[in-house]
Structure 1
Amino acid sequence: MSNNRLLGQIRRTSQLPAPILGCSKLAFCILPIAQIAIGSVYLNDCPRQQYIPIYLIVSGVFGLILGVLSCLPCAQEPEDGTVNLLSRICTAWNSLTSFFLFCWFITGNVWIYSIYEPNYNKTATDVNLYCNKTLYLFAFWTTTLVYILLGLFLVIGCCVLFCFCLCGHADPDDNL
């Protein structure tokens, strides 16, 4: 079996049942909702870097938008492989939203990691160096979680690619 046919077969058989897809999309909406909630509750509780709560709120809102857009019928690829105007618009909007979230993530990294580790004591002598502990640690660990997951996906992807290479070259008698 050639690599193209193998990849095509894997792609066709990887469709998950609708309840599993729905539950996974719901689970992926929990973090954006938490970001909006934490950012809103502690909106004025980080004078050291006042943009951290705003970063959380905007990330949460756009994360939810991306999650909702992925549920729309225009986001799914048609079975017959045709592409219509609505599908192109939806793809362009998803791409723009994803690009914005990537740029916003980089900006949030600068805001969060540049003040590591802030003063969590609000009654300290200089109140402008204060940042609420819950707010800062939530922003710090959600951002760090993205790097952890990215590293895991990279390692798993390399392992899968290595396995595909082994499977593709396992039998020298195969005709390509």
Structure 2
Amino acid sequence: MSLMWRQVRSRRYEKLDDVYRPDEDGGDVPASKSSRFSDAVLSLFLLVWFACGNFWTFAIWRPHFIQLLHEPSNWCDETVYMFTFVQILICYGIAAFVLMIAGILLLCHRCCLEKS
């Protein structure tokens, strides 16, 4: 998220011409490169963590919600499991919605280009 905000902010600086440019003197360049690297590493970590969470959640679909006597460690609290399941579905729903809106906008853009 911070990477996207930084890109939006840098585009605003380009529009201001020479009024205010923090990158001209080279003062922000090393910090910018290090923050981009840390943002990329954090994004990669979150993507891998999300994939692992998907695997862990869907691999045990409908686990034992009551602690068994012969397998005391083979159970999961129902509230925690359903919360995790719903959160993953919400993430996929938001991603599908964003892709659908992007597809519609791309289709509208192509239609407008063909008309002119």
TM-score range, shorter chain: 0.7 to 0.9
Q: Compared with structure 1, are the counterparts of its residues 114 and 84 closer, same or farther at alpha carbon in structure 2 (3 Å cutoff)? A: same
- In 2, are the aligned partners of 1:74 and 1:86 still within 8 Å (CA)? no
Shift of 1:124: 6.0
Q: Report the alpha carbon displacement of residue 74 of structure 1 after superposing the two structures with TM.
A: 6.2
Indicate conservation of the 8 Å contact 2:65/2:77, yes or no: yes
Runs (5+) with no aligned partner, structure 1: 1-66, 172-176
How many correspondences in the alignment? Answer: 102
1:122 deviates by: 2.8
- How far off its partner does 1:107 sit? 0.9
Alignment of 1:123-142 (within 5 A): 126-142=71-87
Residue 105 (1) aligns with residue 50 (2): yes
**CA displacement 1:22-78 (0-9 Å, x = unmatched):** xxxxxxxxxxxxxxxxxxxxxxxxxxxxxxxxxxxxxxxxxxxxx6xx29x967426
SS of the aligned residue for 2:10 comes to coil
Residue 65 of structure 2 contacts residue 75 of structure 2 at CA under 8 Å; is this kept in 1?
A: yes
Q: For residue 33 of structure 2, what is the aligned residue in structure 1? A: 88
**Alpha-carbon contact 1:119-1:130 (below 8 Å) kept:** yes
In structure 1, distance between residues paired with 2:87 and 2:70: 29
Q: For 1:74 and 1:159, locate their aligned partners in 2 and report how far apart those are by CA, in whole Å.
A: 27
Structure number with the bigger relative contact order (C-alpha 8 A, sep ≥ 6) is 1
Question: Contact conserved, 1:74 with 1:90, CA < 8 A, in 2?
Answer: no
Equivalent residues in 2 for 1:44-83 (5 A)?
70=2, 76-77=9-10, 79-80=13-14, 82=23
RMSD of aligned Cα (Å): 2.6
Q: Is the 8 A contact 2:66 2:75 kept in 1?
A: yes
Aligned to 2:17: none
The answer to whether the Cα contact below 8 Å between 1:74 and 1:87 also exists between their aligned partners in 2 is no
The equivalent of 2:91 in structure 1 is: 146
TM-score, L = length of structure 2: 0.74
TM-score by length of 1: 0.51
